[in-house]
Every structure is written in C-alpha cells, then in structure tokens.
Amino acid sequence: MESLGEKPWDVVICGTGLQQSLLALALSRSKKRVLHTDPNDYYGQHEAALTLQDAESFAAKYAASTSTSSSEGGEGEEKKQSVLRNATVWKPDDAEAQGLKFPRAYSLALAPQIIHTKSKLLSSLVSSRAYRQVEFLAVGSFFVYEPAKDGSVPKLSRIPSSREDVFSSQSIPARSKRSLMKFLKFVLDFESDDQKPLWEGQADAPLADFLTAQFKLDDDLKRYVVALTLALDGKVSVASGLAAINRHLTSIGMFGPGFCAVYPKWGGLSEIAQVACRAGAVGGGIYMLDTTATMKPSVDNEKVSLQLSNDDTVEANSLITGQETTVATKVISRLVAVVKSPLKPLFQVLVEGSPPPAVAVVAVSSAPSPIYALIHSSDTGECTVGQCVIYLTTLSTVNSKHELEQALSMLVNAVEGDESASPCLYQLYYEKAFGDKASTTENLGATPNLSFPPLSATLAFEDSDLEAVKAAWGLVLGDEADEETYLVFEDREGADAEDEVYE
C-alpha cells in the first residue's frame, strides 16, 4: 500500500464541518489528490450530531472557556475565544428508569438549523446529485408562547404566515386581517421599484416600528411578524427583517403544500456533511478520523508539511482548515433537552396534502433577548419514539443557562398542561462564539492556507455561508476552476435513474 507521505497531496482539508465537507464534494470529480482529516472520531466537527456518549466527551472537551491573544503584544489587542465553550451535561439520577434509552439511540445536533426550500444549499445538493443520499423532513408550524393572563393558562399561538392562514384564522379581527394582508402583499414584492421607496430610507430602523407606522399592526401581529424573522437579538432591522420574511413566504409550497423549510433526518447539517464526505471518498479522497495534523517546517517552500498524529508526514499544495478560535462578535447559548413526550399538538398536519411535520418552531420569549425553540419529533431519528428533542437558543448572558431552563419548563407546560407529565431525561448545554463571516487566507511560504469561519449564528441556514466554500474550491483548482462546473455533476454510472429529481 502506498504511504500517505509518498506523494504530495493537492489539498489537505482539516475538519469535517459542513463547509470543509462541501468543499470535498465540490472537488470529488476534479481528480485532485485530497486528504481529509478530523481530530474527532465522528464526522461534522462544529456541526456534528452526537450520541449521548459523544455528548459526554464533547462536554469534557469544551467544559472551559479559553482565550488567546490574536497578535503578539501591543495594547488593545483582540482576544480570540474558543468557538465552543462552557459545555455541560445533566440527567436525573433515575433517567434510565424514567425512559432514557441507550446512548446510540440519540443523535443530538450541534447545528439544528432549518433550511428554507429556496436555499442555494438545496440547489447545490440537487445539481451535485448528493441530495439522493439525504432524507429531508418538513418543518411545520411556527408558534409564539402566550403567558397566562386574566385567569387563562399559558398556551402556544400558531403564527399565520400565509394568505390562507390569515383568512382562516378565527383569532384575528377583520380589521387586523386587512392590515396583515396588506403587509404580506407588500413583503412579497418589497424589492421592486414600486415598493423600495416605502422602506429604503428606514432600512436600518427597527422592523417593529416600521410595522406600526406603515401598516398599523397591533402588538400581537407585530410579535408574530418579528418572530418569523428568527432574529436572536430582538432588534432586527427593516432591511434584514423584510428579507427574512420574504424568504419565509416565498419558500412556502416549493416542495409541497403547507411548509416553507426542511430538515435533514438523523442530525441536521451533520447528515449533509457526512453525505458530502462520502461523495469525496467515492471520488478518491482519503479520510482519516481521530487524526490531528500539525504544521512543521518544510524543506520545500512550494508545499506545506504536516505531521499527522499517526506519525506520518505529508506535504500539500494547499491547506484548508476550520477556525477553532475566533474574535467573537456574537455568542449564543444553546440547551439541548430530551423530554419524555411526543408533544403531538405541535406536529399536526394543517394543510391537505402536506407531509407530516417533524420540526416545529416556537418563539418562547422576547425579552430581554428572544429565546427560540426548535422541537424535533422522533421522526428526525434524533430520539426514540414517544420522546422529543428540544433545541433552545438565545444570545449569551450570565443568566442564559437559567433562562433557557425556564423557557423549557414554560414550553412543555404550555403544550402538556403539566410539566411533571413530561420529565426532562437529558440536557446538553454549550455556548458557541461567532466572529467575522469572512474566511482568513494566508500564505505558508508559497502554499495557500484558507480557514473557514464558523457558520452564521442563525436558526435558519444562511446561503452566505456557501461563499467561503466556493472561494476555497477556486483556490485549490486555480486556473482549472470553471464556475459553470461548480457542484454541477452528472450521475455516476450505476446511479438509480428512477430516483426523483427536483426541477
């Protein structure tokens, strides 16, 4: 067998996060020599899906918050933080007796982002033929948590997010319906020359103020509209908010009636990363998990030299990595909870002909920072039948963990009426830092080294995160890069010709 270090590699990719894995997919038909490593013994890196045993190791690895200087010396130097930090796990002493199953029965996603049907990510999976290896599930209703008032009990109110929803709603007064319909009609065409003058002068103003001034929406309708943006800072601007709601509305019905987004079964973006890596392996790429790569001095200035943890030394014409530390501009806190209830009221089919939803979205709290919950049924493959996995996310503060735990109790109580009837069987808490969305590129001698930034701190996948992948593809291929062929592949020989192809 040929030694790993016998010939130089065209590229060494470190980490199997989504961006690195999509790069491997993009290079899978290029005939380039690709070595793909990951220090973990599972795929996905920051977008991995963890068994309970993996979650224990994850919490031990990222239990502390670490920071380093981003430059040598000097006043005012910026501090880099670890991307993942402050991780903990918890379960009751009698968790197994209450219903917690064996560790591999769970697949807890570190990147549980929903994907709107208009996303370029889906288009790329279709054009590259990788979509055939991913099973997508429908994202169902969006809700707002309504606290108890005037003797009532807390409840979840479904957000009317289409014309049909508005017309059929019994809780919205006729006058408010007219105002909401006027806004929905506007936002579908907000970038047209006719509509731009209405909002461009206020593009950076708060969306909530714009909704009051221009469309006379009441407080309830404003909460519904702002919740649909999935903005974690609670201060979404007019420009960003209109773009997010337009994406939501125009995605409804693209793949079928009644839903605007999908979710990959078995662990979200981790599943797409694994499918992309499999395509890279079929194309001749070599994969090495549980392997670290450390740069070492090279005798050839044209190549980078790497020492692998298995004692092999390899050389490469280019190096692609993912950032493990960043100068944080935003930090989120996430609580992943396994609860002993199917929470069936959240997964009802409301539109004839639509698939059963596997994911529901709830805006639990709006102050001081919004808390969103993505509730996943057992259909996602992330837990066993009769249970749900709930992913709660908010911007980090000193009280974030406590606030997320309170939000979890409020949510379950609103659905079940009695929190004790649906005990929490397991919790994973962690924080994730985000910095500049741009890749960093430096030359190691004559060898280019590109480092991907963490994915955007959003609940829905952002197409802007794909830009770095295309840039890395161009860097590796150089003059051979042809944009018309980027992630556009013919079926490999032996592919099932009867597989469905999305138009």
Question: What confidence score (pLDDT) does residue 288 get?
Answer: 96
Task: Calculate the CA 82 to chain-centre distance.
Answer: 19
CA distances from 484 to 93, 275, 422 (A): 57, 22, 52
The fold of 59-105+136-159+328-434 is: Guanine Nucleotide Dissociation Inhibitor; domain 2 (3.30.519)
CATH 3.30.519.10 positions along the chain are 59-105+136-159+328-434
| Residue 328 confidence (pLDDT) above 50 | yes
Band (pLDDT 50/70/90 cuts) for residue 2 is low
Q: Which two tokens stand for residue 42?
A: 């599972």
Question: What confidence score (pLDDT) does residue 170 get?
Answer: 73
User: The whole model's pTM is what?
Assistant: 0.93
Question: What confidence score (pLDDT) does residue 438 get?
Answer: 76
Which is higher by pLDDT, 120 or 330? 120
Q: What residue type is 384 in one-letter code? A: T
Report which of 206, 119, 231 is spatially closest to residue 457, judged by C-alpha positions: 231
Class at the top of the CATH hierarchy for domain 162-251:
mainly alpha
Highest mean pLDDT of the ranges 149-158, 301-310, 398-407: 398-407
Prior bond of 206 cis (ω within 30°): no
CATH 1.10.405.10 positions along the chain are 162-251
Q: List Cβ neighbours of 52 (8 Å cut-off, separation of 6 or more).
A: 103, 104, 106, 108, 426
Q: Which range, of 75-84, 215-224, 228-237, 353-362, averages the lowest pLDDT?
A: 75-84
Question: What confidence score (pLDDT) does residue 87 get?
Answer: 97
- String of DSSP letters for 32-79: --EEEE-SSSSS-GGG-EE-HHHHHHHHHHTSS--EEESSSS-TTPPE
- HSE-CB for 154 with a 13 A CA cutoff: 19
Decide yes or no: CATH 3.40.50.300 for domain 11-51+267-326+437-485.
Answer: no
Average pLDDT of the residues of the chain: 90
CATH 3.50.50.60 positions along the chain are 11-51+267-326+437-485
| Residue 201 confidence (pLDDT) above 50 | yes
| Residue 28 confidence (pLDDT) above 80 | yes
How many helices, marked H, and strands, marked E, lie in the chain? 13, 24
pLDDT tens figures, 348-396:
998 889 999 999 999 998 767 899 999 999 999 999 999 999 999 999 9
**DSSP conformational letter for 399:** T
Question: What confidence score (pLDDT) does residue 442 get?
Answer: 81
